[in-house]
């Protein structure tokens, strides 16, 4: 029992302080619905500027994961509000989600299949 006490204390402290964060990957329909049901969602396109200019999800802001400014720009986001990330196919956005988790963002959603899956479902695109 003496060995379990420190483990229990760490688990309880993480629960209380919210030190765990988890990325949830959602398919396009559920991603759109979850954004719609979220007060003040932070929708982040992690693609390049050229990709962003070719079309993006309505309301998305660009924070290119391949730019050296990525880490500093995510610091301007609100850690207390859900963050929705996407890219072309879902690979870069998963990478971005892991970085957001390491930076203590509590709720992160990834668009499974990226904008390719979004377009395949006939979802709206903004130019």
Reference 57, options 35, 26, 80, 30; nearest CA is 35
Tell me how far apart the 2 most distant CA atoms of the chain are, in Å: 60
As given in the structure block, the two tokens for residue 49 are: 């500027």
Identified catalytic residue from 28, 57, 74, 87: 87
Residues 111 and 118 sit within 8 Å (Cβ to Cβ): yes
Distances (CA, A) of 123 to 91, 113, 114: 20, 13, 12
Known active-site residue 87: yes
Residue 1, judged by CB atoms within 10 A of its CB (0-12, 13-18, 19+), counts as: exposed
Catalytically active residues, by annotation: 87
């Amino acid at each position: 029992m003496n060995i379990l006490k420190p483990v229990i204390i760490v688990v309880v402290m993480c629960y209380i302080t919210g030190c765990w964060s988890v990325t949830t990957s959602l398919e396009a329909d559920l991603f759109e619905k979850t954004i719609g049901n979220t007060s003040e969602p932070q929708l982040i396109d992690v693609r390049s500027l050229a990709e962003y200019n070719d079309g993006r999800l309505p309301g998305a802001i660009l924070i290119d994961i391949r730019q050296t400014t990525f880490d500093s720009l995510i610091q301007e986001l609100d850690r207390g509000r859900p963050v929705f990330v996407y890219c072309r196919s879902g690979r870069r956005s998963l990478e971005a989600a892991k970085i957001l988790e390491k930076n203590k963002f509590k709720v992160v959603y990834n668009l499974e299949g990226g904008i390719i899956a979004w377009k395949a479902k006939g979802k709206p695109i903004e130019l």
